[in-house]
Structure 1
Amino acid sequence: MTQEKPGFTESERSEAIRSFDILDTPPEAEFDDLARIAAEVCGTPIALVSLVDVERQFFKAELGLGVRETPIATSFCAHALLVDDILVIPDATKDSRFDGNPLVYEDPKVRFYAGALLKTREGVPIGTMCVLDHKPRELDENQLRTLRLLARQAMTQLELRRSLAATQQALREAKELETRHRQIVDSAVDFGIITLDLDGRVTSWSVGAEEILGWSEAEMIGRPADVFFTEDDQVARVPDQEMQAAQERGRGSDERWHKRRDGSQFWASGEMMPLRDDDANHLGYVKILRDRTLQHQAEAQRLELTREMSHRMKNSFAMVQSIVGQSLRTASSVAEARDSIGTRIEALARAQDILTQTSGTHAAIGEVVRDALAPYRTGEGRFDVNGPELELTAQQVVGLSLALHELATNAVKHGALSEPGGCVDITWQHTEDNGFVFDWREHGGPAVTPPTRTGFGTRLIERIVGPYFDGKATLGFEPEGVTFRLVGMVGQSVDSRGEGAG
């Protein structure tokens, strides 16, 4: 059996893998959950998130194999790197590439393998999301699609992990650079250099101090330095404590809010040191400060972003686990469960794509609706969509996307979209005090009969979506067509454009 010549070199692959700094790292729950989901969906005893290095393959996540790495000579995943998308080996004993392979003919006696590629943004394959079995078998299209989606999620986790590490490294380097240059203040206007006498009164005031604080040197000479400290710090005698620290320990450092001449406040990084003459006599103090408001705000934003990323990842995995578990419990057959799981995870992935392409924390409702309905549009104008542009939170994006997926899927199978003349009207309004009303109304389809049992899709729509909007979702089964109303809260309106029919 021949294989395509790869469009990359092993040195390029090795460099790409090492850019993620992932080899030989301990297990992480985010990747372990992906392996567990892959095994459950594909019905295999073994699932791996595999990184294929030059001489070995390392398993970032491993379920059912019992080892963290294997030699490249016996690797199935090394062969997967030579295909464009996914490699499926129904029976390894009938494939000449694995003649004499100890993984096939000795424990664990692997017979079946399916691996979806993990590719960098540049298209370089670095590993696979794979499942293995001890007996020959095949995967259906839903299982293959889910394996691809899980591979994509694994790459998203790797990218997020690398981005966070790069951000932390950049902050460390910036802080080290700031420390090295803190005392290099030779005529730099972004540093305030102030000298004080032993009583804490200003004796000199640099151009940088005037730029940062707003007072001129003429205004400040002879005045106490505590004038640019906040009222709370003045009451707490912070200026005196800084001078005492400088005298006793040689340095008094502080990072705190300070006050400008116009009354505004800024975050300053400063140090106070004793000022001595050539004979080491104590003459007073020198205070050096710098406006670090932007850096302080950036650090606060970084911490908020880190918390948001962690929260989103946990919510995503919890949603995937809920989808898998509920779909398996409510499906009437294995085939129905696989189809439901695959399409629901795909809807979740589309919602995450919208967030990834925007700020990561918010997205426009028009884009969410368009993307959720895209698989169901036929170009016949069966959707009439109208409403102002609003920003939704990350949780609201996921909740509304999943609700629209369930509604559209039901409409295609049983509702208005199952007949040529059927249509769906979708509208939303932004009311006072950030109130929000969203309506889905079907018409022109077959007469609707209320269901005799409540499935997972109905529970998802009525019980899960509403709380994301701090409101309530109601599903109606009117004879002329299914209705859905969501009443809750959203953010501010962006503009007043409607989408129109589609």
Structure 2
Amino acid sequence: MDDPGCKQTSVRSQRLSVLDIIGEEQEPEFDRIGALVARLLRVPVALVSIVETDRQFFKSQLGLASPYAESRQTPVSHSFCRLVVQDREPLVVADSRQDDRVKDNPAIQDLGVAAYLGAPIVLGDGRVVGSLCAIEHVAREWSPDDLAILTELAALVATEIDLRAEVKRRKSAEDDLHLMARELEHRVKNAFSMVQAIVSLSLRAPDVAGLRRDLIERIGAVGATQELLATRAGSDVTFAEILKGEVAPYDPGGERLDAVGPAIAVDARDAVFLGMIVHELTTNAVKHGALNPEGQGILSIRWNAEDEGGYRWLVLEWNEDRGANSSPSAKQSVSSGFGTELLDLLIKRQLFGTIERLDSGRGLSLKLRLRLTASPEGGAL
């Protein structure tokens, strides 16, 4: 059975790293509180102790002997403060050698802990992260005033930690805002560049009547990708999400699309280009291929990632089967003219990739190899 205390300590250690406390040098704000404990309670040792899974770390220490004064930590086996955190209440020990709770603790011998008084450090969200403690080298009866003073000073330690956490949080939020502003500017530039290319290529098309419709659809595809990116607040999206957004609307019953591949994260720039590539292939499949609403075709899509030449490559296999009733002579290809030109622009010039075109007589088969700008792995699909 799992030990609940171990789980709580593990979570506590994880959160303390966020507070940026563990491993820091001694600081005057905490040292002053330790000095007050020593002066007001007239003790030789005062500690601001943060309890971790396998050790206690002294954010401040006054009066410890070597080597603990230099290392500012002990194994958790030496920790009286662990009991303060565990019980979430003060620990009062008048004579450690006679107290069943601690009489076997090696700190009695190694640190000279004969009497101990500890008050919990309780943060604003209710977490107990350590103890402010006073230590005597001889047995001592602690008074209610001693405990009251220590409790008030422990609250000051908690306030100092909370203030630092809030400052860190606000600074992080400001950094995130600056990062998001730069990312938004970058995305807008990418989107406008993509729209400009679409318009420029579309104006060459001889079918003026279809120009308006095609422009709306293609610019809409750019907008859909931007909308997906906007929901991530600066995080990457996966190729599977881009694919789903473009293809799924044409297979509402989930019977004509067979798409399988790992979760591959792509950045904002690549997402726009990949969205347009998938849009062009999907539009072609709806008009002439496996997703034609009058047919019963199947679209099979497979993808994976390969690392080569210092880059990550997205390898995409797009295979269409128009169905048993399709004519073997009805050859299908990516629409000529603008569609082919746009795909070549996206695949070869923007993503430095390659495209292999095949047709088995049952439908279009493509293999694309596309270079990704940034390539962290995403989570599972």
TM-score w.r.t. structure 2 length? 0.51
Offset of residue 378 of structure 1: 5.2
SS state at 1:486 partner: strand
Q: What residue in structure 1 maps to residue 59 of structure 2?
A: 214
Deviations 1:306-361 (A, max 9, x none): 110111111112222222222122x2132111111011112122212222223344
> Any gaps of 5 or more consecutive residues in structure 2?
1-25, 36-46, 51-57, 66-162
Q: What residue in structure 2 maps to residue 436 of structure 1?
A: 314
Offset of residue 216 of structure 1: 1.7
Q: Residue 415 of structure 1 contacts residue 448 of structure 1 at CA under 8 Å; is this kept in 2? A: no
Q: Letter of the aligned partner of 2:221 in structure 1?
A: A
Distance in structure 2 (CA, Å) of the matches to 1:400 and 1:435: 12
Q: Residue 34 of structure 2 contacts residue 48 of structure 2 at CA under 8 Å; is this kept in 1? A: yes
Does residue 396 (structure 1) correspond to residue 234 (structure 2)? The answer is: no
Q: Residue 472 of structure 1 contacts residue 486 of structure 1 at CA under 8 Å; is this kept in 2? A: yes
Deviations 1:194-239 (A, max 9, x none): 69xxxxxxxx63359968982324469xxxxxxxxxxxxxxxxxxx
Distance in structure 2 (CA, Å) of the matches to 1:466 and 1:206: 65
Q: Residue 263 of structure 2 contacts residue 377 of structure 2 at CA under 8 Å; is this kept in 1? A: no
Offset of residue 494 of structure 1: 1.1
Does residue 376 (structure 1) correspond to residue 203 (structure 2)? The answer is: no
Does residue 492 (structure 1) correspond to residue 366 (structure 2)? The answer is: no
Q: What residue in structure 1 maps to residue 339 of structure 2?
A: 457
Distance in structure 2 (CA, Å) of the matches to 1:339 and 1:356: 25
SS state at 2:368 partner: strand
Question: Which stretch of the first structure deviates more once superposed, 414-423 or 305-314?
Answer: 414-423
Pairing of 1:320-331 with structure 2 (within 5 A): 320-329=195-204, 331=205
Closer, same or farther: CA 483–323 of 1 in aligned 2, 3 Å: same
TM-score w.r.t. structure 1 length? 0.39
Deviations 1:364-408 (A, max 9, x none): 322221110134225372221111223222222222221121112
Q: Residue 277 of structure 2 contacts residue 346 of structure 2 at CA under 8 Å; is this kept in 1? A: no
Q: What residue in structure 2 maps to residue 143 of structure 1?
A: none
SS state at 1:214 partner: strand
Closer, same or farther: CA 353–450 of 1 in aligned 2, 3 Å: closer
Question: Which stretch of the first structure deviates more once superposed, 302-311 or 457-466?
Answer: 457-466
Q: Letter of the aligned partner of 2:367 in structure 1?
A: R
Distance in structure 2 (CA, Å) of the matches to 1:313 and 1:210: 50
Q: Residue 180 of structure 2 contacts residue 233 of structure 2 at CA under 8 Å; is this kept in 1? A: no
Offset of residue 424 of structure 1: 1.5
Q: What residue in structure 2 maps to residue 472 of structure 1?
A: 353
Q: Residue 348 of structure 1 contacts residue 402 of structure 1 at CA under 8 Å; is this kept in 2? A: yes
Q: What residue in structure 1 maps to residue 295 of structure 2?
A: 420
* CA root-mean-square deviation: 3.6
Closer, same or farther: CA 485–375 of 1 in aligned 2, 3 Å: same
SS state at 1:216 partner: strand
Does residue 448 (structure 1) correspond to residue 326 (structure 2)? The answer is: no
Offset of residue 425 of structure 1: 0.9
Q: What residue in structure 1 maps to residue 75 of structure 2?
A: none
Q: Residue 198 of structure 2 contacts residue 342 of structure 2 at CA under 8 Å; is this kept in 1? A: no
Q: What residue in structure 1 maps to residue 84 of structure 2?
A: none
SS state at 1:416 partner: coil
Does residue 205 (structure 1) correspond to residue 32 (structure 2)? The answer is: yes
SS state at 1:494 partner: coil
Q: Residue 238 of structure 2 contacts residue 378 of structure 2 at CA under 8 Å; is this kept in 1? A: no
Q: Rg bigger for which structure?
A: 2
Q: What residue in structure 2 maps to residue 92 of structure 1?
A: none
Offset of residue 471 of structure 1: 4.7
Distance in structure 1 (CA, Å) of the matches to 2:183 and 2:49: 36
Q: Residue 319 of structure 2 contacts residue 365 of structure 2 at CA under 8 Å; is this kept in 1? A: yes
Offset of residue 465 of structure 1: 4.0
Q: Residue 463 of structure 1 contacts residue 473 of structure 1 at CA under 8 Å; is this kept in 2? A: no
The number of residues matched between the two structures is 227
Name the structure where strand makes up a greater proportion of residues. Answer: 1
Q: Between the two proteins, what is the percent identity of the paired residues?
A: 30
Pairing of 1:1-80 with structure 2 (within 5 A): none
Deviations 1:264-299 (A, max 9, x none): xxxxxxxxxxxxxxxxxxxxxxxxx96754444433
Distance in structure 1 (CA, Å) of the matches to 2:256 and 2:202: 29
* Higher relative contact order (Cα pairs below 8 Å, separated by 6+ residues): 2
